[in-house]
Amino acid sequence: MSIAEHYDVVVIGSGAAGLSVALGVDGAARVAVVTRGVVGLDGSSCWAQGGIAAAVGPGDTTAQHAADTITVGARLNSKAAARWLAESAPDVIRWLISLGVQFDTVRGRLALGLEAGHSFPRILHAGGDATGVELMRALREACVLQPNIECLEFAEALEILKQGERAAGVLVRNRKGEVLRLYAPRVVIATGGIGQLYRYTTNPVEADGTGLALAHQAGAELADLEFVQFHPTALAPQDAGQAGQLPLVTEALRGAGSTLLSNGGGRFMAMAHPQGELAPRDIVARAVWEEMAQGREVYLDARSLGDGVRTRFPNFFQACVGRGTDPRAAPIRIVPAAHYHMGGVRVDLHSMTSVPGLYAVGEAACTGVHGANRLASNSLLEAIAFGRSLGERLAHGARAQVNVAAIAAPRASGARAASANDAMVAARLRQLMWAECGITRTPGGLQSAHQQIQVLERRCLPGAPVLRQLLVARLLVEAAIHRKQGIGAHHLVADAQVGSGGGRAVA
């Protein structure tokens, strides 16, 4: 028997997007935030070292911010969404400051950094490379003060409940193993990205595509799944067999003057792109990948920054020290890693999915803002801008009611806990996606990945949690197969172009 509760809005996920939705809903509506860990501390937002982009500096304009977004997105963006996001950015910054976010300043003015793809310095940071930590602190503390927001921690969303064609709530398993029915006429997916589908990622364990699987199984359309952005620089694993989340090496280090070196011939980015180390991320990631595919190791050299590495980038410095290295004295070995998913649940400018009553925000959503490749530091901005706007709209909408008797019986009530077999399947999937659907892809490799994923699906028992990861991975590979032309973060080359080493970069 399941336990039932009624809400006006249920938000799945407690990152920047999810908490912005909850805070946007006024106090007259009852809101539930369902999260797999501790509110505001699980998911990718609190790990964000990069900043948040906004055209608030001298000479900069929201029109130029939108233009940069579209250029980096290979012009596959929704131009309306890109313009709306850029125009919303200054107000988002004001709102965050009103919540107590302490952005870095220089002589009393907001400090603005420059990152790849931006034509003006417009990146705001907090704590140097701890922007996500500071944003989530402020959002979390603001949520605690709202009596209408109830947080369900260590709770797993199992299924979107439906009343006919409409979303009507969420089936949830809490930390005690109890199954809860959270009825609500409005359900918001804010579950983050898919980095955990890959061998190396900057994403935490929660970013495994769960939200996309929930939406797809509820009948929502997905879009642009093939566009996966790989961050060029993550700290290389100390153990060659290590997989999963790696510490991110913020792009701001390259913006400050750090360079990339190969142990086979020094700097190499000048030959890859006129902007060198400040080229768009997909180009830098491919250049690093190609060096590794040739059997070379790649390093980030921050020695020119001197002690500024420690004072300006404390998270990076501490991560290096924890590994027994000092970036002031020696280059640091890096690898590219799955970082951000431009695709997701297809939504319109109002964050509505194709299923009435179901919404999506943040990295789990495909708003069309990013196109084929995300402009640096637009992700936190998108999460907060769309999240806050959605919350305000849901607050002003008519109070709808859920007809419990008309809700279809859930399918996921028999879902079980992960097993040893699930862990082995997940490990195999991560390696497969890294090799065949990663930074560089071939038609043959994608077909092979598709076949192998189907084999892995058949090896799993019904209700296995890893089936959701396999589903999202299969849909992603199918989207990559369907897009015949390489563009943006979907870098497709002919099978004949793959080198003798298989073109597979190894750590």
Q: Could you report the per-residue pLDDT of 305-363, keeping only the tens digit for each?
A: 999 999 988 888 999 998 899 999 999 999 999 999 999 999 999 999 999 999 999 99
pLDDT of 457: 95
> Regarding the domain delimited by 232-338, which CATH topology (the fold level of the hierarchy) does it fall under?
Flavocytochrome C3; Chain A, domain 1 (3.90.700)
Distance CA 220, CA 356 (A): 9
What six digits make up the tokens of 3?
């336990």
Q: What mean pLDDT comes out for the span 177-202? A: 95
The strand ranges marked E within 319-398 are 332-341, 344-346, 358-360, 365-366
Residues 6+ apart with CB under 8 A from 216: 222, 471, 472, 475
Distance CA 505, CA 295 (A): 8
Distance CA 104, CA 149 (A): 30
DSSP code, position 495: G
Reported as a pLDDT band with limits 50, 70 and 90, residue 187 is very high
Q: Is 281 a catalytic residue?
A: yes
pLDDT of 415: 66
Contact 154, 30 (CB under 8 A): no
- By percentage, how much of the chain surpasses pLDDT 70? 95
What is the tens place of the pLDDT at every residue in 79-105? 999 999 999 999 999 999 999 999 998
Closest C-alpha to 412, from 226, 210, 274, 148: 210
Q: What mean pLDDT comes out for the span 152-165? A: 95
> Regarding the domain delimited by 416-497, which CATH topology (the fold level of the hierarchy) does it fall under?
Methane Monooxygenase Hydroxylase; Chain G, domain 1 (1.20.58)
Distance CA 200, CA 489 (A): 16
For residue 312, report the phi and psi dihedrals to the nearest 5 degrees. -90, -25
pLDDT of 1: 46
pLDDT of 50: 76
SS3 letters for 277-335? HHCCHHHHHHHHHHHHHCCCCEEEECHHHCCHHHHHCHHHHHHHHHCCCCCCCCCEEEE
What is the tens place of the pLDDT at every residue in 382-439? 999 999 999 999 988 756 778 787 788 887 666 676 787 888 999 999 999 999 999 9
Say if residue 501's pLDDT is above 60. Answer: no
Which residues are paired to 167 by β-bridges?
162
Distance CA 245, CA 241 (A): 13
The strand ranges marked E within 7-114 are 9-12, 31-34, 52-53, 105-106, 109-110
What six digits make up the tokens of 151?
């947080």
What six digits make up the tokens of 129?
């490379």
Distance CA 432, CA 451 (A): 11
Reported as a pLDDT band with limits 50, 70 and 90, residue 65 is very high
Which residue is it, tokens 């970013």?
Answer: 207
Q: What mean pLDDT comes out for the span 113-136? A: 87
Triad 77, 120, 312: Cα angle to 5° = 110
How confident is the prediction for the chain on average, in pLDDT?
90
> Regarding the domain delimited by 3-226+342-406, which CATH topology (the fold level of the hierarchy) does it fall under?
FAD/NAD(P)-binding domain (3.50.50)
Q: Please state the domain extents for the chain.
A: 3-226+342-406, 232-338, 416-497
One of 166, 281, 388, 430 is an active-site residue; which one? 281
What is the tens place of the pLDDT at every residue in 72-84? 898 999 999 999 9
Q: What mean pLDDT comes out for the span 475-489? A: 95
Q: What mean pLDDT comes out for the span 32-61? A: 89
Say if residue 216's pLDDT is above 80. Answer: yes
pLDDT of 500: 37
Measured in whole angstroms, the distance separating CA 5 from the mean position of its chain's CA atoms is: 30
